Structure 1
């Protein structure tokens, strides 16, 4: 099954929910620092995530 991911991006945190066909997926919190964003990318690769969805909003940071 193809794994997918949803990202909920906030000013200081990113919540990452990985769905693998089960009712409840794995949710992990990351910071918005450069090193933590690299960790997020590595985690998505390790999970085998193929598609990522993210909510579209207006101005994110002022």
Structure 2
């Protein structure tokens, strides 16, 4: 089966895997090697996540809406990035 290629709409994005105590962030994009880091879910750690994402040039962040753990992460990141809450 042939692979379908889709146009890249977001130059640099991040996917978050949100857990109760940690957030695993993977960034990738044009001219950006894929990188993954893990952050704690305390506000000061999420602020470090914001800084790291900004340094990587990330504009869009997607996270799954599992349980309620995504909500505090969303509220801390809101205003810094285009946020997408998606169904896994």
**TM-score normalized by structure 1?**
0.82
Q: Report the RMSD for the aligned CA atoms in angstroms.
A: 1.9
Higher RCO (CA 8 Å, separation ≥ 6 residues)? 1
- The correspondence of residues 17-56 of structure 1 with structure 2, limited to 5 A, is 17-21=26-30, 25-56=34-65
Q: Deviations over 1:18-53 (max 9, x none)?
A: 01247x610000001111000000111110001111
Larger Cα-atom Rg = 2
**How far off is 1:58 after superposition?**
3.1
- The correspondence of residues 4-15 of structure 1 with structure 2, limited to 5 A, is 4-15=13-24
Structure 2, unmatched stretches of 5+, are 1-9, 70-88
User: How many residues were matched structurally?
Assistant: 59
